[in-house]
Structures are given as C-alpha cells and as structure tokens.
C-alpha cells in the first residue's frame, strides 16, 4: 500500500456521468482527498460518502476536492450519487487497476480496503488513513484539508 511521501499513481477512469476523470487534471484544481471504498449502498460506505458530502462546500472553499473510487459500475455510481446527493466524482475501476496501484485491493483480491489519501498538488501523498470499518479517521483527514483541524 502506498504511504506518505510516495508519488500518487496517475489514472483516468469514468465517473458516474460517464465522463473521464484523471488525477493529473484534478490536481491542477487543488489538493485532493482520494478515497477507496468497497461498494455503493452499503451502510458504512453510504455513511462515509454522506460525511464527505456534508464537508464538500468547505473543501471547495479551501481549494480541495474529494473523489471516490470503487469497482461498481458507472450506473451503480450514478444511482448512488443521485440517491444521496453526492456532489463529487465517484469513479468506476472496472479491472481494479487503480485499486491495485494504490495497494488497497482486499485480501486475496476480494473486495477493496477502505482508504483515504491526501494528495497534494505536487502529486505526493501527504497523509493516508486506512480503516475498513470506521469512517472517523477518513473524515478527520478530509476536515484537515478544509482547514477545520489546522
């Protein structure tokens, strides 16, 4: 799994609207909280996405953004984003290539680890949180990007 100080691997994946999103382009807009999650519509993943949604305005004011990645389809992400008013990109990693590049593939290739990476505009990982069942640390990382915890 990637750690603080590592260069974040670039990627291009489709979001819930079918548009291609790349890390390189996103980093021109500001810092990024990139989070990986197991599945749309599951209780912990829904709580996490909604917590990030609730801090999204502050993130944007702080010149930062959040993006989620999981192996669910564009259609699943679209329904999930619409059901919970998710304003940020949810990316479809069909073959789990990005999930594997970041080292968050589940044990024996099953599932996805819940991990959040703070990536600076320089493409370097500044912080990382890994917690499969609890979202508190992930939310703290995102709030840190907004300046709430600084």
Residue 50 annotated among the catalytic residues of the structure: no
> If DSSP codes are grouped into helix, strand and coil, which group holds residue 147?
coil
Q: Give the tokens for residue 70.
A: 């999981």
Helix residue ranges, H only, 38-135: 43-54, 56-61, 74-84, 97-101
Place of tokens 């979202």: 135
Place of tokens 């291609």: 20
Q: Give the tokens for residue 68.
A: 């989620």
Please give the backbone phi and psi of residue 70, each rounded to the nearest 5 degrees, phi first: -150, 170
Q: Exactly one of 8, 13, 33, 45 is catalytic; which is it? A: 45
Place of tokens 């799994």: 1
Q: Which residues are catalytic?
A: 45
């Amino acid at each position: 799994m990637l750690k603080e100080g590592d260069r974040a691997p670039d990627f291009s994946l489709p979001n819930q609207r079918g548009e291609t999103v790349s890390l390189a382009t996103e980093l021109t807009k500001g810092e990024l909280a990139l989070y990986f999650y197991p599945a749309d519509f599951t209780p912990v993943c829904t709580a996490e996405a909604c917590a990030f949604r609730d801090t999204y305005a502050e993130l944007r004011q702080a010149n930062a953004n959040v993006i989620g990645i999981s192996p669910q389809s564009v259609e699943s992400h679209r329904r999930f984003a619409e059901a919970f008013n998710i304003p940020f990109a949810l990316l479809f990693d069909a073959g789990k290539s990005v999930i594997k590049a970041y080292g968050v593939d589940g044990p024996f290739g099953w599932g996805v680890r819940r991990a959040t990476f703070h990536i600076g505009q320089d493409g370097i990982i500044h912080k990382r949180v890994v917690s499969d069942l609890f979202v508190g640390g992930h939310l703290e990382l995102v709030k840190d990007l907004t300046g709430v915890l600084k």
